[in-house]
Structures are given as C-alpha cells and as structure tokens.
Amino acid sequence: MNNLLDRLAKVPLAQKIIAAAVLMAALSGANYFFLVDDLNGKIKVSQDKKRNLNEQLVKKRVIADNLNQYRRDKEVLERRLAEALTELPPKADIDELLRQLNDVGKKSGLEIVGLEPMPESPQNFYASIPIKMQAAGNYHEIAVFFESVSKLRRIVNISGLTFEAPTRKNEKVVLKASYMATTFRFLEASEQKPAQQPKKK
C-alpha cells in the first residue's frame, strides 16, 4: 500500500490531473447511464401516462357533455311521444271518445240523437275509425260543437255534414245535423300490413 502511495507521489502533476479528469469523466458517464438515463426513462414513461390520462379525460368530458344533451333530447322526445300518443293512441278507446263527444255536445247546447261507431279501416301505420253522428240544435250550437271537437286532444275529423228537418222550438230554428266524426289510432308493428310492392310491367 505504501509502495502504491509512493509511486503515485512520484507521478508528475500533469499526469495526475489527466488521470483525475479521466476518472471524473468515467464517474460522470457511469452516473448518467446508471442514474440519470434511468430517471429520464421513468420521467418519459410518466409523461406518456399523463398525456394518455389527459386525452382520456378530454374524451370522457366530451361524452359526459353529450350524455347530458342526450338526456335532454330524450326527455323532449318522450314528451313529444306522449303528446303524439294522445292524438293518435295505440288503442281505439271508442267508449271514452263517445263520452267526450256526448259531453261536448251537451255543453254546446246540442242534443246528441245518434252515435254509431263503424268498423275501423287500417291504413299504413294507423287505422281510421268512423262514427256516424246525428245531433239537433241551431246553427250556432252546431258551430260551437265543431269548434270544441277541434280542440280535443285526440284527432277527430268531421265530414259529410248535412242538415235536414228544420223546426222551430222555443223561438229558435232547430236543425238535425248528420255527419261522420272520424278518429284514428296508431297500429302496432304486428298489426301493420306490409307495404305492397308496385307491380313490374
């Protein structure tokens, strides 16, 4: 050990400086390869993970925003569907409609003298249900009745209106009105007839 120290002591200063510089470079290189490079690799992996997480966060925020809009759209569509099913119900409910027509007629001052539901007629996605009606009243009462029918939630079309047998009753001219009140109902998919293909010439 003493011999080694003596030899080192005899080495010229310039060589000692060069050896120290080489040793420092070797230590710095080892430090870089074993510590700094490994740390840089870990930093890069962490940065990639962070970037991926940020991208996922942005995507999920977009989905969340769209989900809220989807829910709002769904509520609007459900409300519209409920309104549409009131106007075009899936069931005939003729008894309920007859009651409504009778009530509207009485409130209008008419005397409903005939209500006769006819067989329904299926179309593409709906069926029309005609009802033969006869009522007695003056022009004003009949007009009020038709206006009230037009305000019903359910669609009811009045057609084929005819007047006959005018008579005077309690100082007013009373007419007998005959007409067809047609309502409609939505046909379920199982009830719908397949559309007929045009015949080839």
pLDDT of residue 136: 92
What is the total count of domains within the chain? Answer: 2
Residue-wise pLDDT for 45-81, tens only, equals 788 888 888 888 888 887 777 877 888 878 887 777 7
What range defines the domain where residue 74 resides?
1-87
Please choose, from the candidates 127, 138, 130, the residue with its C-alpha nearest in 3D space to the C-alpha of residue 168. 138
Residue-wise pLDDT for 153-181, tens only, equals 888 999 999 998 788 887 888 999 999 99
Considering 88-92, 133-137, 151-155, the range whose residues carry the highest mean pLDDT is 133-137
Do 78 and 48 share a structural domain? yes
Which of 87, 111, 129 terminates a domain? The answer is 87
Which of 87, 109, 125 terminates a domain? The answer is 87
Do 83 and 3 share a structural domain? yes
Q: What is the DSSP letter of 34?
A: I
Kindly state whether residue 165 falls inside one of the protein's structural domains: yes
Kindly state whether residue 197 falls inside one of the protein's structural domains: no
Do 142 and 118 share a structural domain? yes
| pTM: predicted TM-score of the whole model, two decimal places | 0.55
Lowest mean pLDDT among 5-9, 17-21, 88-92: 5-9
Q: What is the DSSP letter of 35?
A: I
Are the C-beta atoms of 67 and 59 separated by less than 8 Å?
Answer: no
CATH code, domain carrying 101: 3.30.70.60
Q: How many Cα atoms occupy the beta-carbon half-sphere of 65 within 13 Å?
A: 6
Do 68 and 12 share a structural domain? yes
Do 167 and 127 share a structural domain? yes
Q: Amino acid identity, residue 35?
A: L
Do 56 and 4 share a structural domain? yes
Do 2 and 26 share a structural domain? yes
* C-alpha span between 85 and 68 (Å, rounded): 26
